[in-house]
């Protein structure tokens, strides 16, 4: 039985969008101290301001509605939250339910530029720095040097090997993956716990138990421990593979004289990439290119934006210009040419086939043992049905689509794996 009473102080490494969101849910869980560590003082100031606004939004229905109205992260699902009901539920808003106010909560938040001071008394640490392996390895080397011997060291990586991240930590048995499947953790449900080759059972159990306690406004936390590490884990592995299709389709459209604005107006928005960060998208694609298949290489547009320093929302420029109200868009009406092109070239079932195939690869690799569990991960992480819901009936038809698409695009990675094509995945229920 894991004793979480010993976990009193938490540290978050990285004060950006992701780190601030993780710090918020840690504070709402009720830890005595949460320290955000970042080398940039301006980022720390912005992080503290962001966390305070987000916690203030949870103190009353009026504050919450005001927050949503100004949030470019708002969606219909979020807007339909029954806030009065959530306000009385610890699993939704944490210690706000117990009457702990923003001032008290913010008194437990500390910021620190010096990592040695920021983690000196931490019992649990979550790293949320850019998806660059050598940066993460450097951070974990310092965490191994400066944090107490009992401290669990978790990485929020969405793509990278926990074994490699832990390589220079001096305590690989204490290193685990803890990925929040959204850049706004209070509005997410899914957290994936990943082992490295040397992660101890105790470290993984502690990580899983802590993850289950983080509040979520969208419903009860859904946490899963992978059987083994895998690039992209489960949810991102499937999503990133699906992105190969969209990159191809967009390139085809542009080659046929259809503008980015037309594609945006037709529903092919790049707002999500800007919100996540163009650099994160770029580094994730490069990692997949190097470790899975060259077919995952970042698109030319992503490379151009990355090289130009247009990294998305956080710098005010990416696919779009950004201000406090969100992305600036002046979209034109959708032209008949655009409609006809998408009608002739886009095929939702090909996307579904790609995702089913990648999910079958996860089963083949032993990352997870059940296709039903993969479907649950996708539903809890993205609120859309998993690939096996329809794939159980359509896998033969979809396998043919993959052969055709791989031939058209030259992306051989997308050919169906044996487990999908044969239907043997059905035995992994």
What CATH number did the domain enclosing 89 receive? Answer: 3.40.50.720
CB 259 within 8 A of CB 227: no
Within a domain: residue 230? Answer: no
Count of the separate structural domains present in the chain: 3
Picking from 94, 96, 150, the residue whose alpha carbon sits closest to that of residue 120 is 150
Query: For 353-410, what is each residue's pLDDT tens digit?
Result: 999 999 999 999 999 999 999 999 999 999 999 999 999 999 999 999 999 999 999 9
Within a domain: residue 1? Answer: no
Cα–Cα distances in angstroms (integers) from residue 109 to residues 32, 93, 151, 156, in the given order: 9, 17, 19, 20
Query: For 111-157, what is each residue's pLDDT tens digit?
Result: 999 999 999 999 999 999 999 999 999 999 999 999 999 999 999 99
Asked if the model's pLDDT at residue 1 lies above 60, the reply is no
Are residues 93 and 58 both part of a single domain?
Answer: yes
Query: For 9-64, what is each residue's pLDDT tens digit?
Result: 999 999 999 999 999 999 999 999 999 999 999 999 999 999 999 999 998 888 88
Query: For 245-303, what is each residue's pLDDT tens digit?
Result: 999 999 899 899 998 889 899 988 888 899 889 999 999 999 999 999 999 999 888 99
> What kind and span of H or E run contains 254?
helix 235-255
Are residues 193 and 61 both part of a single domain?
Answer: yes
Q: What percent of the chain has pLDDT over 70?
A: 97
Are residues 321 and 422 both part of a single domain?
Answer: no
Are residues 40 and 121 both part of a single domain?
Answer: yes
109 — pLDDT class (breaks 50, 70, 90) = very high
Specify the pLDDT at position 325.
Answer: 77
Are residues 242 and 139 both part of a single domain?
Answer: no
Q: Which two tokens stand for residue 219?
A: 């419903």
CB 153 within 8 A of CB 174: yes
Beta strands in 230-379, from DSSP E residues, in sequence order: 321-323, 326-328
Within a domain: residue 306? Answer: yes
Are residues 164 and 279 both part of a single domain?
Answer: no
Asked if the model's pLDDT at residue 73 lies above 60, the reply is no
Are residues 262 and 396 both part of a single domain?
Answer: no
Are residues 323 and 341 both part of a single domain?
Answer: yes
Are residues 339 and 358 both part of a single domain?
Answer: no
Are residues 180 and 268 both part of a single domain?
Answer: no
- Please identify, among 171, 191, 225, the residue that sits at the C-terminal boundary of a domain: 225
Within a domain: residue 266? Answer: yes
Asked if the model's pLDDT at residue 80 lies above 80, the reply is no
Are residues 340 and 356 both part of a single domain?
Answer: no
- Please identify, among 197, 225, 253, the residue that sits at the C-terminal boundary of a domain: 225
Are residues 142 and 27 both part of a single domain?
Answer: yes
Residue 299, domain extent: 235-345
Is the overall model pTM greater than 0.75, yes or no? Answer: yes
CB 250 within 8 A of CB 217: no
Positive/negative CA dihedral, 135, 136, 137, 143: positive
Query: For 176-193, what is each residue's pLDDT tens digit?
Result: 999 999 889 999 999 999
Within a domain: residue 116? Answer: yes
Between CA 249 and CA 257 the distance in angstroms is: 13
- Please identify, among 345, 372, 403, the residue that sits at the C-terminal boundary of a domain: 345
Specify the pLDDT at position 84.
Answer: 84
Weakest mean pLDDT among 79-83, 102-106, 218-222, 263-267: 79-83
Within a domain: residue 103? Answer: yes
Specify the pLDDT at position 75.
Answer: 65
CB 199 within 8 A of CB 173: yes
Quick one: average pLDDT of 206-218?
A: 96
Within a domain: residue 69? Answer: yes
Give the CATH number for residue 251.
Answer: 1.10.1040.10
Within a domain: residue 2? Answer: no
């Amino acid at each position: 039985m894991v004793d979480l009473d010993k976990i009193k102080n938490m540290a978050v490494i990285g004060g950006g969008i992701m780190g601030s969101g993780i710090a918020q849910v840690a504070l709402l869980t009720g830890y005595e101290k949460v320290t955000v560590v970042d080398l940039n003082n301006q980022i720390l100031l912005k992080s503290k301001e962001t966390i305070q606004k987000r916690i203030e939004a949870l103190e009353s229905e009026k504050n919450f509605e005001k927050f949503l109205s100004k949030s470019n992260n708002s969606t219909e699902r979020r807007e339909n939250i029954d806030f009065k009901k959530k306000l009385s539920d610890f699993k939704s808003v944490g210690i706000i339910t117990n009457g702990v106010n923003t001032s008290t909560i913010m008194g437990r938040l500390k910021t620190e530029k010096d990592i040695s001071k920021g983690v000196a008394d931490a019992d649990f640490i979550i790293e949320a720095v850019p998806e660059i392996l050598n940066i993460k390895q450097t951070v974990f080397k310092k965490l191994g040097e400066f944090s107490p011997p009992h401290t669990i060291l978790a990485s929020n990586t969405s793509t990278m090997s926990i074994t490699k991240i832990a390589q220079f930590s001096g305590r690989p048995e204490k290193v685990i993956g803890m990925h929040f499947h959204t850049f706004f953790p209070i509005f997410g449900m899914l957290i994936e716990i990943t082992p490295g080759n040397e992660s101890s059972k105790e470290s993984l159990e502690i990580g899983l138990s802590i993850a289950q306690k983080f509040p979520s406004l969208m419903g009860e936390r859904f946490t899963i421990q992978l059987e083994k590490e895998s690039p992209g884990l489960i949810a991102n592995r499937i999503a990133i593979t699906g992105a190969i299709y969209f990159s191809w389709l967009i390139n085809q459209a542009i080659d046929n004289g259809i503008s980015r604005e037309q594609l945006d107006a037709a529903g092919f928005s790049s707002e999500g990439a800007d919100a996540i960060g163009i650099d994160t998208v770029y580094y994730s694609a490069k990692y997949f290119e190097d470790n899975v298949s060259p077919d995952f290489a970042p698109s030319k547009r992503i490379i151009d934006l990355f090289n130009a320093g247009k990294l998305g929302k956080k710098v005010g420029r990416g696919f779009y210009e950004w201000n406090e109200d969100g992305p600036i868009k002046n979209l034109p009406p959708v032209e008949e040419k655009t409609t006809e092109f998408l009608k002739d070239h886009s095929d939702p079932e090909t996307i579904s086939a790609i995702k089913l195939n990648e999910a079958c690869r996860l089963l083949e690799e032993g990352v997870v043992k059940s296709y039903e569990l993969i479907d649950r991960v996708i539903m809890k992480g993205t609120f859309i049905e998993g690939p096996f819901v329809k794939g159980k009936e359509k896998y033969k038809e979809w396998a043919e689509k993959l052969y055709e698409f791989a031939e058209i695009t030259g992306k051989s990675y997308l050919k169906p794996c044996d487990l999908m094509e044969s239907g043997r995945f059905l035995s992994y229920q």
